[in-house]
Structure 1
Amino acid sequence: MTKSVRIAAWNVNSLKVRLPHVLTWLQSQEKAQKPIDALCLQELKLTDDKYPHRELEDAGYLSFSAGQKTYNGVAIILRRAALAPMASDVESAFLKPVRNIPHHIDEQQRILAATVCFKGMQPMRLVSAYFPNGQSPDSDKFVYKLAWLSALEAWLKNELSQNSRLALLGDFNIAPHDLDVHDPAKWIGQNLVSPQERAAFDQLIGLGLADSFRMFEQAPKSFSWWDYRMMGFRRNAGMRIDHILLSQALQEKCIASIIDKEPRTWEQPSDHAPVIAEIEA
């Protein structure tokens, strides 16, 4: 019987390029006896017909995707060994996946949600989300970002009323506090740290969600994203913009939340590192 599950989020910045990294990371966690039971990916940058279902299935994982050519795209990858046995096939462990925010007209694939039945656990609602970047506070893309955040909040409020065990995982493109930024003074007035974006993040917390990473004591200067330019990773000039938010029922069961920086050291890495939360049964 499963004693706990580990759920993770990772912006891979092109799954076509980073699939070997995803498989290597999942296998390394398995070998370390710390398997990732659910991995939410962002920024796939490929369409569903190009999604590597076969490669992931061969490695022991089931997955769903909501892809888009060149940009965006999200997925949920599940370790088959962790899923509860079902009467028919494993797909029956899911409610109908939500592939975008209902009632929000948007061609961009940024949301994928599914209810998962892990062994020995009550069902868990997982939401893989790729928040808009916003570009700059004086741009149309920023207006779009704020509208998207508002639609997300309304949708999540409804989701939480139906799913007490919910986790929102992904690249939020928001550093919620100054301690999540390598040099706050340099970022004043910029995208990712604006008062409007941080207020939107706080609105999500106000729904009853908690930032799992901040539930535990963490090392200072803990980041999940580093710019490829200016030796950002080497200088640890990063930001914490990838998050796992948990509903109250999951907060009570969360025993750890970390950032795994190792994949950022690999050749041709994503500019993001995976973030992980561990949930007890």
Structure 2
Amino acid sequence: MLVATWNINGVKARLDALLQWLDECQPDVACLQEIKSVDEAFPRSEIEARGWQIETHGQKGFNGVALVSKTPALSIERGLAGDETDEQARFLSGLWSTSRGPIRIASLYLPNGNPVGTDKFPYKLRWMERLESTARQWLAEETPFVLAGDYNVIPQPEDAKNAADWLGDALYQPESRAAYRRLMNLGLVDALRATTDRAQTYTFWDYQAGAWPKNNGIRIDHMLLSPELSAAMKGVRIDKYVRAWEKPSDHVPVVLNIED
């Protein structure tokens, strides 16, 4: 079973790339972030024409998450619990049937948090507290799960080409990294780091300052697994080649292979 995550950075602008990648990768479930589209305007017909199922939790102009899958989900939940006043579309989860039983898969777009000295950074930290509470609840329910998406967190210095460049950024603040560690301390497994310790393993390259040709990247797209699901991991890969396509997203897909 292949589960993937990709911050598409505008689904309409990257539709051709998305369709090509879906054809090539054939994920069972693909988690998309930053679709930048309301549900009604999502280019559903073009994707469904290739046989894919689609669930969206969109928002006009920015944010927005989606789940693209080969088979329909048993159930879908939109939004992250813990704050009924939060109108930002950043969390979408579904339950899928597999030969090993049901698996819950979430697509999340964690707040960026910049600039640090504004309300955006406390919002990021509160959102991470809510994510931790949801993970605790899901662990108690004992249904295997994947929390996949753009976390906007650089966990460790080795997750950036030049960590010093990010010292003032919300992605690398001690509070952001500590919140990520609290998630991990619940017993979750960072799928990529559990399967590789390679240096310069990145998922994002900025459009500015020649970051891509210089490989000046960071790793902020993560797949955190519940303990029982981590035991079924067969491998994780980063589809880095997609970043070289025409009109690319600044993120690339991460693909998890789970024994089914």
With normalisation by structure 1, the TM-score equals 0.89
Q: What whole-Å deviation, never above 9, does each CA across 1:241-278 have from its counterpart, x for those lacking one?
A: 00001001110000101111111000110000001111
Segment of structure 1 superposing worse, 200-209 or 97-106: 97-106
Gaps of 5+ in 2: none
Check if 1:107 corresponds to 2:87: yes
Q: What whole-Å deviation, never above 9, does each CA across 1:74-118 have from its counterpart, x for those lacking one?
A: 0011013xxxxxxxxx4xx412x2211123120100000110113
Given the alignment, which residue of 13, 30, 35 partners 1:39? 30
Asked if structure 1 preserves the Cα contact closer than 8 Å seen for 2:36 and 2:64, the reply is yes
Given the alignment, which residue of 35, 40, 44 partners 1:53? 44
Distance (whole Å) between structure 2 residues aligned to residue 111 and residue 167 of structure 1: 13
Asked if structure 2 preserves the Cα contact closer than 8 Å seen for 1:210 and 1:245, the reply is yes
1:141 alignment counterpart: 120
The DSSP-based 3-state class of the residue aligned with 1:258 is strand
Check if 1:277 corresponds to 2:256: yes
2:139 alignment counterpart: 160
Given the alignment, which residue of 248, 270, 281 partners 2:227? 248
Distance (whole Å) between structure 1 residues aligned to residue 207 and residue 142 of structure 2: 38
The DSSP-based 3-state class of the residue aligned with 1:232 is coil
Give 2:31's aligned amino acid.
Answer: C
Check if 1:17 corresponds to 2:8: no
The DSSP-based 3-state class of the residue aligned with 1:45 is coil
Q: How many angstroms does 1:160 deviate by?
A: 2.1
Q: How many angstroms does 1:36 deviate by?
A: 1.0
Segment of structure 1 superposing worse, 210-219 or 69-78: 210-219
Distance (whole Å) between structure 2 residues aligned to residue 73 and residue 56 of structure 1: 17
2:238 alignment counterpart: 259
Q: What is the 5 A alignment of 1:71-82?
A: 71-80=62-71
Asked if structure 1 preserves the Cα contact closer than 8 Å seen for 2:33 and 2:107, the reply is yes
Asked if structure 1 preserves the Cα contact closer than 8 Å seen for 2:154 and 2:177, the reply is yes
Q: How many angstroms does 1:189 deviate by?
A: 3.1
2:61 alignment counterpart: 70
Displacement over 6 Å in runs of 4+: none
Distance (whole Å) between structure 1 residues aligned to residue 242 and residue 205 of structure 2: 12
Distance (whole Å) between structure 2 residues aligned to residue 162 and residue 139 of structure 1: 36
Asked if structure 1 preserves the Cα contact closer than 8 Å seen for 2:38 and 2:59, the reply is yes
Segment of structure 1 superposing worse, 37-46 or 199-208: 199-208
Q: What is the 5 A alignment of 1:128-277?
A: 128-277=107-256
Q: What whole-Å deviation, never above 9, does each CA across 1:24-77 have from its counterpart, x for those lacking one?
A: 001122xxxxx3111000000000001122222111110100000001000011
Distance (whole Å) between structure 2 residues aligned to residue 226 and residue 28 of structure 1: 22
With normalisation by structure 2, the TM-score equals 0.96
Distance (whole Å) between structure 1 residues aligned to residue 238 and residue 144 of structure 2: 22
Q: How many angstroms does 1:197 deviate by?
A: 0.3
Q: What whole-Å deviation, never above 9, does each CA across 1:113-164 have from its counterpart, x for those lacking one?
A: 110113x231110010000000132221001101111111112211221243
Give 2:34's aligned amino acid.
Answer: E
Q: How many angstroms does 1:219 deviate by?
A: 2.7
Asked if structure 2 preserves the Cα contact closer than 8 Å seen for 1:125 and 1:163, the reply is no
Give 1:243's aligned amino acid.
Answer: H
Segment of structure 1 superposing worse, 155-164 or 204-213: 155-164
Check if 1:27 corresponds to 2:23: yes
Q: What root-mean-square deviation, in Å, do the aligned CA atoms of Structure 1 and Structure 2 show?
A: 1.2
